[in-house]
Amino acid sequence: MNGLMMQESLLISSLIRYADRFHGDTEIVSRRVEGDIHRTNYREIHARAKRIANALLAQGVKPGDRIATLAWNGYRHMELYFAISGIGAVMHTINPRLHPGQIAWIANDAADTWLFYDITFQPLVDAFAGQCPTLGRLVAMTDKAHLPASKVDGVIAYEDLVEAGSPELEWPDFDENAASSLCYTSGTTGNPKGVLYSHRSTLLHTMMGVSPDVLGLSASDVILPVVPMFHVNAWGVPYMAALTGAKLVFPGPALDGASLYELFEAEGVTVSAGVPTVWQGLLNHVMQKGLRFSTMRRTVVGGSACPPAMLAKFENEYDVQVLHAWGMTETSPIGSACALKPKHRGLSHEQILALKGKQGRPPYGVNIRIVGDEGEDLPWDDEAQGELLIKGPWVLRRYFNREDESPLLDGWFPTGDVCTIDPDGYIHITDRSKDVIKSGGEWISSIDIENIAMAHPAVAMAACIAVPHPKWDERPLLVVVKRPDAELGREEMLAWFADKVAKWQIPDDVVFADAIPLGATGKMLKTALRDAYGKHPLPTAD
Ligand code: ADP
């Protein structure tokens, strides 16, 4: 017997329709590529999204067509999120920090037919568009007066497209399982792989994401997503903002500490979300200038492990609550978030900070397991380390264009992350399986070593990699970037570990570097570090 409730598809268009109807005058503020501040609201975004949608339909865009964007976080990008998915086409966000050759590869794999881009990316577009035979239409996200000189023919101005489209549109109804957006993994190992989200997966992820133990977003919040809209849909924040009617503030390309702080204060930002490297820049800025946050209450940190020193600084010195979250492109991305339970109320401040340093527990909808080398289930005792497997309605089943390959193991997605799980289900990611240091049959967590190093006052950034060792197979090498003007030598750095980890976990050597290479999503690029230092002669090797 079926239930007798209304059958309505979970579609992305319903989000913007709702935001327009109930939060139409709520502001959406963007720092533009031109450097100025632009103000609009949900009503306007919806109206312009309809115009773009009509213009695309008039030019023959069909459901399932892939339409690419190369753009920063801004209102026009938001309009495209709703215009493209709203008519059943696929919003394909491309990471502009990739090499032009990789971008061409991705655009060809996706067979993108249109490309919308911020004008700062004109040189990039000139460099790769000619290599993409399916790319028929190029749209610069500006007005005619600001159209940049282009080496490729036929570039249209975004504002002309908005003008051309009628504002009259009823968003079409279709199957909620239809594809809505496409995002490629950054390809740190091999070619990038496309993750194709559906309307249903996006809506379920959005409803979970706003809930109190995750982003806890409401109409009274002002959210600034630092996490880019070109990577995993900015962790879903544009959709979550529309679902709640929260005010949105987009930082555009200016992600340095000073620019972010200025926007946080000017717009009354209460919540933000981003990777640790961005927060490091913001914290350095407020520390150096002796500033305070007047409205900021919470920040979501994820994408790589949040160093405990950063967590403590935010919470103890700036009164900003940190929510540590874990996820992947393949998981939409939210897989876990570290919200506390009533039983933790009795814990000391230090114990709470230690708990919040974990990646947290899955929200409803996500299931997890840890398995050993033979695929056997390991206990949730906070000690056994194994690979994290995940399952749920917003977790990838198969990569785009790879019909013949199943990445799943018995219906579970293997994450490639190594973790422990405690009896309450809190995950602690100790490493990526390819980054873990295997020393004499024991595993050393590169994340643990980095976190300890980064708590040293003279250290700005630290990375730990495995270097081959004749006796122990692999031993840890620490690469350190010192804070400006700080004094720190090898011996002092190594002595810092003495009372913090077992002796065999202490790195064998330290090299000081000017910078640590970051990948296209702002994470430390361990592959580049291994290329640079993988043959470093260890003093213990003789
Ligand atoms: P890519 O795999 O392309 O770098 P993703 O953004 O999909 O891009 O990265 C997902 C990976 O990032 C996870 O598998 C995990 O290794 C790492 N990660 C994400 N969040 C955290 C976190 N809070 N702590 C530790 N690692 C994290």
How much is the pLDDT for 85?
98
How much is the pLDDT for 187?
60
Domain assignment of residue 305, yes or no: no
Domain assignment of residue 467, yes or no: yes
Domain assignment of residue 370, yes or no: no
| 438 assigned to active site | yes
Ligand 1 midpoint to CA 438 (Å): 20
- Picking from 420, 404, 422, the residue whose alpha carbon sits closest to that of residue 340 is 422
Cα 453 to the center of its chain, rounded Å: 24
Pick from 208, 234, 269: which residue ends a domain? 208
| 120 assigned to active site | no
Range of the domain at 154: 13-28+39-208
Catalytic residue among 185, 331, 420, 430: 185
Shortest-distance Cα residue to atom 24 of ligand 1: 305
For 348-371, b/e burial (b = at least 16 CB within 10 A) is: eeeeebebbbbbbbbbebbebbbb
| 185 assigned to active site | yes
Domain CATH for 180: 3.40.50.12780
**Cβ proximity of 486 and 425 under 8 Å:** no
pLDDT digits (tens, 9 = 90+) for 184-232: 997 655 678 999 999 999 999 999 999 999 999 999 999 999 999 999 9
| 3 state SS of 97 | coil
Segment-wise mean pLDDT, segments of 10 residues, the chain, 542 residues: 96 98 98 93 98 98 98 98 98 93 95 97 96 97 94 94 96 98 79 94 98 98 97 97 98 96 98 93 94 97 92 96 97 98 95 96 98 94 96 98 93 96 97 87 87 94 93 93 93 94 91 92 88 92 75
- Phi, then psi, of 425 in degrees rounded to 5: 90, 10
How much is the pLDDT for 277?
85
Tokens of 484: 């400006």
| 3 state SS of 360 | strand
Domain assignment of residue 179, yes or no: yes
Helices 42-58 + 13-23 axis angle, to 10: 140
- Give me the sheet containing 367-371, strands edge to edge: 367-371, 386-391, 413-421, 427-432
Domain assignment of residue 273, yes or no: no
Instruction: Choose which residue among 279, 304, 449 to substitute to test ligand 1 binding: the one with the highest number of ligand atoms within 8 A of its C-beta.
Output: 304
How much is the pLDDT for 35?
85
Task: State how far the Cα of 242 lies from the Cα of 230, in Å rounded to an integer.
Answer: 18
Domain assignment of residue 417, yes or no: no
Catalytic residue among 443, 474, 500, 523: 443
| Strand extents, DSSP E, 174-237 | 179-184, 194-198, 222-225
Pick from 208, 226, 256: which residue ends a domain? 208
Torsion on CA atoms 280, 286, 287, 293, rounded to nearest 10: -110
Domain count, the chain: 2
Pick from 178, 208, 238: which residue ends a domain? 208
How much is the pLDDT for 190?
64
Domain CATH for 457: 3.30.300.30
pLDDT digits (tens, 9 = 90+) for 373-397: 889 999 999 999 999 999 999 999 9
- Omega cis (within 30) before 333: yes
Helix, strand, coil abundance in the chain, percent, nearest 5: 30, 25, 45
